[in-house]
Amino acid sequence: MKNLDGDIERKINQIVFKAVYGQEATTVQSLILKKPKFNRSSAKKWASNHGFKHSKVDETKTSFRFRQFPPNNCKPSSFRTKSLTTGVSAVICKKK
């Protein structure tokens, strides 16, 4: 990840890297940015500035979603959603 502020970087590190006690690592499968805090352009810019894939965006009534990799690459029942900062969440999972 590049250009992260300290708080967001700490949260992502806690999510992505293995825990001290041998917990299985998780990774960010999708990034969700909420409307109206973000429009399509600002959501893509936020994702890009924070080192996430941003070329393809899925738009819903309430958010913009940036898939980092296909969900079928995750272990079943391993998905969780974690807040990174106001208006930004990450769907995490354990990879197969």
- Is 40 within a domain? yes
pLDDT of res. 24? 76
The rounded Cα 25 to chain-centroid distance in angstroms is 15
| Domain extent at residue 68 | 6-93
pLDDT of res. 3? 47
- Is 73 within a domain? yes
- Is 1 within a domain? no
Low-confidence ranges of the chain (pLDDT < 50): 1-3, 18-21
Specify the number of domains making up the chain: 1
pLDDT of res. 22? 54
pLDDT of res. 20? 44
pLDDT of res. 17? 52
